[in-house]
Amino acid sequence: MRTMCASLLALTLLFPGHASAQSAPPAVATESGRVSGTADGATISFKGIPYAAPPVGPLRWKAPHKAERWSGTRAADKYGAICQQIYQAKDNGVGPLPMSEDCLTLNIFAPAAAKKAPVMVWIHGGGYVNGSGTAALYDGSALAKQGVVVVTLNYRLGRFGFFAHPALSAEAGGEAVGNYGLMDMIAALKWVRANITGFGGDPEQVTIFGESAGGAAVNALMTSPTARGLFDHAIAQSGLGREKFLSLGEAETAGATFAASAGAPNATGEVLRALTAETILKAGDPQIFTGGGPMIDGKILSRAPIESFRRGEQARIPYIVGWNSLEFPIPAAALSGKNPLGSAIPGDLPARAEAAYPDKDSYNLNFFSDMLFVEPAVALARLHARQGNPTFAYQFSIVPKAAQAMFKGAVHASDREFVFQTLGASAWATDANDAAQARTISGYWTGFAKTGNPNGGSRPAWPRFDPAHPRLIDLMDTGPKDAAVPRAAAIEAIAAGQDGASGSSASTGQAMRDEAGSTYSHN
């Protein structure tokens, strides 16, 4: 045996090229140059690939430019910098430092032998002001093992990504301005269409999915004419739906106010771009609920997404939309006075909605989550399904045992680790049951990416959303369950308050009440 080992060692020393070929990292040619990734058994990964030029210097507050070409093979074994934000080290939706304006990179996780596999492009949340596609929470390896290619990306945040000013509009000469973060997402999707074949993906079978602001971005991209044809399925997780959108003129006014506060009144584009990143961040984060995210610029977005859905202008594609069972556990009574979240509530809506809840406790516990997340998701599902588009709604209700003493339902963003099967990155401990539910949920998501329908295999049946008889899947600790829309009368009252009382709202609310019956209630 010792002689055999010595002989093998001698052969390795004599022919080192053979040994290195066995462990050579995978390499792929892209439009900008070759990249080498890393192999990990059943999957391969490529990290930190530029999908656009660094938006720095004269390219700050400009539409993304194509990434510059490089010679040789670029190592793609480390994540790129996260985009500029007020850094929160304990936020599990944020990847590691460094942080830079040079941050427009993406990451790919693929089955080792993938060929024309469906592609899933993840858009992270964080209120459009924080987060990154580089967080361990969004490691796509477990999804890739189910036969899909996963892409995660960074996009410009806060005032770096969503900012308008008269001087920037004037110099743009009619080109799109303001929605730079959305433009980044579109640039990344174009990169995927052009390059993903080399990584084993099918550019004609792309699903976009995102949570919170990422889910809101999914809804926006579904209605953007500049994103049309870049994806084939969409999943919006806790993606709001009735958030405020400023017009370009209103956003320019807000931008001019910011510039003046930063010591640059009547600034030119050059002066604005000379502001340091620290100065921009020091002004504080824009607030998504008051119009601090995407704006109606007339090019990327022509109107609020829910209005585009109402007009049938959205992409006519299979769509999953849903929410968590207790998104924001903020008592309704706490939303008065100076609480900034209260600014998202139309003045008379609480009083109109309260009477529709079964009791005061249910109203106090659920109203804010219902107004921000549940009712808008139901409205989007109804509008999309009415036009004949395959639509599937869900409620995520899983609360790990370690969190049950703190929360009476699944709070905002707690679904992400179940979708990605990255329970090790959860904010609290999880157990074998959570792992089993995560396998089922990620199976629904990857099944949808493959066929446009989440059903298949041994998973419990997920009903297609029918506006006349609305049903959804409730993803529970005990497993998925076919269910009615929760708190149907309250959701109807909120819808009536948001849209104004209408025959369509009333009939839909009656359908939800009929479907709910008296046998099922959650929260």
Cβ neighbour number for residue 424 with a 10 Å cutoff:
10
CA distance 39 to 424: 21
Cβ neighbour number for residue 169 with a 10 Å cutoff:
20
* Element housing 516 (H / E): helix 503-516
Q: Residue 370: helix, strand or coil by DSSP? A: helix
Q: 169, 412, 414, 417: which one is catalytic?
A: 412
HSE on the CB side for 122, CA within 13 Å?
32
Q: 212, 238, 325, 362: which one is catalytic?
A: 212
Q: Answer for the pair 239, 210: CB distance below 8 angstroms, yes or no.
A: yes
Q: 101, 327, 492, 515: which one is catalytic?
A: 327
Q: Residue 102, exposed/middle/buried by CB under 10 A (0-12, 13-18, 19+)?
A: middle
- Chain center to CA of 109: 17
Peptide linkage before 98 cis (omega within 30 of 0): yes
Active site residue 412: yes
Active site residue 18: no
Question: Which distant-in-sequence residues (6+ apart) come within 8 Å of 160 by Cβ?
Answer: 55, 60, 61, 83, 84, 101, 180, 277, 280
CA distance 54 to 69: 13
Active site residue 141: no
Q: Is the dihedral of CA 486, 490, 496, 502 positive or negative?
A: positive
Q: Quickly list DSSP for 315-345.
A: --S-EEEEEETTS----GGGGSTT-GGGGGS
Q: Residue 273: helix, strand or coil by DSSP? A: helix
Tokens of 494: 């909120």
Tell me the one-letter amino acid at 457.
Answer: G
Q: Residue 216: helix, strand or coil by DSSP? A: helix
Question: Which of 426, 427, 428 lies closest to 402 in space, CA to CA?
Answer: 428
- Which alpha helices (DSSP H) does 332-464 contain, by range? 349-354, 360-369, 375-386, 416-419, 432-451
Give the active site residues: 212, 327, 412
